[in-house]
């Protein structure tokens, strides 16, 4: 009887350990130089726009980000005040275009950063990824936006 209880406890421990390992595997980890971020299905947090670091104010505490979904080539994110959504197309040679962009219509005290971010998305035509950093660019100009791959909060 003691052996049967011991076997049962051992099996329960193994099963519980497997489940927690599976859950841990589902949590997206930040990319490291040994593990470059993927363009799609990654939470890209804006860190720089038009050569200026992005600084969040008291009214805009939430990070600006985009996620490029593989399913349907849709993009969604947050632009500082409003939620954004639309389509994107990846083309040969690290080219990208955003189209059919839409957003919620909330009014916020300072819309300048959001306006500049949305304008940038309509202008960029290529991207580059280096480890966990992505840039969106126009032609061969300096990057218009820099993003960092992060695990969303």
CATH number at residue 53: 2.40.128.270
The verdict on residue 14 lying in a domain is no
Model pTM? 0.74
The verdict on residue 7 lying in a domain is no
Decide if pLDDT at 61 tops 80. no
Q: What are phi and psi of 143, to 5 degrees?
A: -55, 135
Decide if pLDDT at 152 tops 70. yes
The verdict on residue 27 lying in a domain is no
pLDDT band at 6 (very low <50, low <70, confident <90, very high): very low
Which pair of structure tokens corresponds to residue 12?
A: 């329960």
Decide if pLDDT at 28 tops 70. no
- What's the structural domain count of the chain? 1
Decide if pLDDT at 116 tops 70. yes
- Percent of residues in the chain assigned helix, strand, coil, to nearest 5: 25, 35, 40
Domain residue limits at 49: 43-150
The verdict on residue 6 lying in a domain is no
The verdict on residue 3 lying in a domain is no
The verdict on residue 64 lying in a domain is yes
Residues ≥6 apart with Cβ < 8 Å to 135:
127, 128, 143, 144, 145, 146, 147
Q: Report the C-alpha dihedral over residues 71, 72, 73, 76, rounded to 10 degrees.
A: -80
């Amino acid at each position: 009887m003691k052996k049967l209880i011991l076997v049962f406890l051992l099996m329960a421990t193994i099963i519980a350990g497997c489940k927690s390992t599976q859950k841990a595997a589902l949590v997206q980890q930040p990319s490291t130089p040994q593990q470059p971020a993927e363009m799609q299905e990654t939470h890209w947090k804006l860190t720089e726009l038009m050569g200026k670091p992005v600084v969040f104010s008291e009214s805009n505490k939430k990070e600006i980000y985009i996620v490029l979904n593989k399913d349907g080539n849709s993009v969604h994110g947050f632009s500082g005040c409003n939620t954004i959504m639309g389509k994107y197309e990846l083309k040969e040679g690290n080219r990208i275009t955003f189209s059919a962009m839409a957003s919620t219509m909330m009014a916020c005290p300072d819309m300048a950063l959001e306006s500049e971010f949305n304008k940038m998305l309509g202008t960029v035509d290529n991207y580059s990824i280096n480890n966990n950093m992505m840039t969106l660019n126009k032609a061969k100009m300096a990057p218009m936006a820099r993003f960092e791959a992060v695990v969303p909060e």
